[in-house]
A and B are shown apart, each in its own frame.
Chain A
Amino acid sequence: MRPDERTAPVITATGLVRAFGARRAVDGVDLALQAGDCLAVFGPNGAGKTTLLRVLAGLLRPTAGTAAIGGVALPGGAAARAQVGIISHHTMLYGALTGRENVAFAARLHGVRDPDAAAAAALARLQVADRADTPVRSLSRGLQQRVSIARAVVHTPRVVLLDEPYTGLDDTGARALTGMLQSLAAGGATLVLVTHQLAEGLALATHLAVMRDGRFVRQESRAGVDAAAYLVRYRELVTNGA
């Protein structure tokens, strides 16, 4: 990787705001993530974590503030969206199509050069290749989620946004996901992981943040943070009324 690619921030945000009418779901978020970083965002329901991801994914326009993905300012249109893969607790799959068809379709949408091969490879990495030719709606929730993850990463995105990706995954699936995320990060992808599973988040993250009422009330590097102590502090932060 070229030196400037390593050091230039891949995801940046300054005072990012997203409002729905009078309600500010994201109320001033600052971010600067390099290639290979993984930011775990924890926080109570309704904190704005999903909205933040949707803005970064290009599904919502920022109301105020600035943000950029790979140097492309948001809303960045196709140039920004091409770099992003998004995973949520909805599978974003077409039930009537097979896993292979779903993932190949996503590959084609992103202009991947050999879509069928890329789809097969992604499905294999998520260990779901043997069920790839049945309609997705007849798969279990956990297998559907794995297909969905394959769909999100088939174009080897620079940025992967994950909204509660461990939902519905069994042990095998969770390990496959963690392994995939680790190899993506090692390959230089930048991850933003929203999760309630503090353990998984702490295992993967290079940076930690706690979001409440639309802003990061705590943001720090993972290095030097003791997991057990963090758990305690987190509960305090989240249950504290003020």
Chain B
Amino acid sequence: MTVADSGGRTAGAAGGGIDWLFAAAVAAVAGTFVRAIWFTPLEALQGAAQKIFYVHAPSAWCAFLAFGVVALGGVLYLWLRDERLDLVAESSAEVGVVFTTTVLITGPLWGKPIWGTWWSWDARLTLTLFLWFIFLGYLVLRGAIEDRGLRARYSSILGILGAMLIPFIHLSVYLFRTLHPMPILMKPSHPSLPSDMLATLLLSFASFTLLYAALLRARYRLAMVRWAAAGGRP
């Protein structure tokens, strides 16, 4: 049984042929880790703990990217009423939860040796915590509704409202003091990271984004299989 994915390429059923995108993503991430651990200099102040940054930062990027896809999927679903858009949103939410959890785990792991506390209510980490709650709420809501059409509509609304909520949470938390290290990449001039570290970081962003795309596609395929089995028709 072959399943056509949204890109028009066919792929083997789960268990069949190799998912090349996923393989490439895993290789890229592995390569990034190798580079990060052995070929990137230690940061002067933070030492080895800083290496977590190469997991933490790109995971955060992917988490928010995933939510953006959830919200966009919601908008498009309400407009076009194509159930597959809702399945993309659902897949992105599940993948997004994983990345968000990674951020929430690596954050304290990084913070403890450097700041001495596991949780410091740092502004960005707190925002990510709320993103995690919104993701979970989204998935629990989906689980509570049997009717596919209703589930798709409600999820779309929640995704869109959640995306609108994020800037407000950010502003709320920002009005508190923040302990996050200076945003060394966001300076308009040039990043303060030495070029080796910057290269590793950019590589990690690229490989994690690739991983997100691969996981999204795999999860979406699974959703399509289930949908077809439940009688959905393209």
Contact = CB atoms under 8 A, between A and B. Distances in A.
Interface in B190-234: 231-233
Interface residues of B, number: 7
A20 B233 contact: no
B112 interface: no
Nearest to B150: A20
B223 to A, nearest CB: 15
A60 to B, nearest CB: 11
Contacts of A23: 231
A23 B231 CA distance: 9
Nearest to B148: A21
A1 interface: no
The main secondary structure of chain B at its interface with chain A is loop
A232 interface: no
A228 interface: no
A213 to B, nearest CB: 16
B192 to A, nearest CB: 54
A22 B149 contact: no
A20 B148 CA distance: 9
Interface string A9-53: 000000000001111000000000000000000000000000000
Interface string B137-158: 0000000000111000000000
Contacts of B83: 21
A23 B149 CA distance: 12
Contacts of B232: 21-22
Interface in A68-91: none
Interface string A168-192: 0000000000000000000000000
A223 to B, nearest CB: 41
Nearest to A19: B149
B149 A20 contact: yes
B84 to A, nearest CB: 13
Nearest to A21: B148
Contacts of B148: 21
B198 to A, nearest CB: 50
Given A20-B149, A22-B231, A23-B231, 8 more contacts: A20-B147, A21-B83, A21-B148, A21-B149, A21-B231, A21-B232, A22-B232, A22-B233
10 contacts: A20-B147, A20-B149, A21-B83, A21-B148, A21-B149, A21-B231, A21-B232, A22-B231, A22-B232, A23-B231
